[in-house]
């Protein structure tokens, strides 16, 4: 029997499966559950979400910064226990995304919420027309172990992170 080249190709294709088997899905039981912390202060509602890092090895202390998954994180451990995934500030019904990139280990697991005393929102005088600006400071406390403060500037429904400050043993004067 003589086959033409086209027939050979069709014959080869018939032997190959048309569809690759689906990749195994990650079990929802193995995916970490997001941790959400909310606090309301001075008319603003804040919500931060972090994801626990699944890690079976030993965590090593770091100097307050660590590289994990090719990114630099503000964390006292390598790898971090949890990574901040989102931050939202709602003022007058408007939700404003906060830059939380590089923030890790924002709280200890037992802590139910961010204490109001660790949030400071200052409304700036109106600059022109309806423009309204704010400065927001939030302290992420781990009960004395590498606490840090993040500062954001909010204006016209947008925000920019201005800085991350390691606090050591001293909190700002506005903390009561």
Ranges of each domain in the chain? 33-166
Cα(155)–Cα(19) distance, integer angstroms = 52
Provide the whole-model pTM. 0.75
Note down pLDDT in tens along the chain; length 176 residues. Answer: 555 555 554 555 455 545 555 555 554 556 778 899 999 998 899 999 998 888 777 777 777 778 887 788 887 777 888 889 999 999 989 999 999 999 988 887 656 678 899 999 998 876 666 677 899 999 988 766 678 899 999 998 899 999 998 887 788 999 88
**Full 3-state SS string of the chain:** CCCCHHHHHHHHHHHCCCCCCCCCCCCCCCCCCCEEEEEEECCEEEEEEEEECCCCCCCEEEEEEEEECCEEEEEEEECCCEEEEEEEEEECCEEEECCCCCEECCCCCCCCCCCHHHEEEEECCCCCCCCCEEEEEEEECCCCCCCEEEEEEEECCEEEEEEEEECCCCCCCCCC
């Amino acid at each position: 029997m003589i086959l033409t080249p086209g027939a050979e190709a069709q014959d080869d294709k018939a032997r190959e499966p048309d569809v690759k088997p689906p990749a195994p899905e990650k079990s929802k039981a193995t995916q970490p559950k997001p941790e959400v912390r909310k606090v309301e202060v001075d008319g603003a509602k804040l919500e931060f979400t972090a994801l626990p890092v699944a890690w079976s090895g030993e965590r090593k202390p770091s100097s307050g910064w660590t590289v994990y998954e090719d990114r630099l994180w503000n964390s006292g451990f390598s790898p971090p226990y949890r990574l901040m995934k989102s931050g939202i500030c709602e003022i007058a019904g408007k939700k404003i995304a906060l830059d939380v990139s590089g923030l890790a280990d924002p709280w200890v697991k037992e802590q139910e919420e961010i204490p109001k005393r660790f949030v400071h929102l200052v409304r700036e005088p109106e600059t022109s027309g309806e423009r309204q600006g704010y400065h927001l400071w939030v302290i992420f406390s781990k009960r004395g172990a590498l606490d840090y403060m993040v500062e954001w500037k909010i204006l016209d429904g947008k925000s920019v992170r201005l800085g991350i400050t390691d606090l050591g043993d001293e909190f700002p004067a506005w903390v009561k």
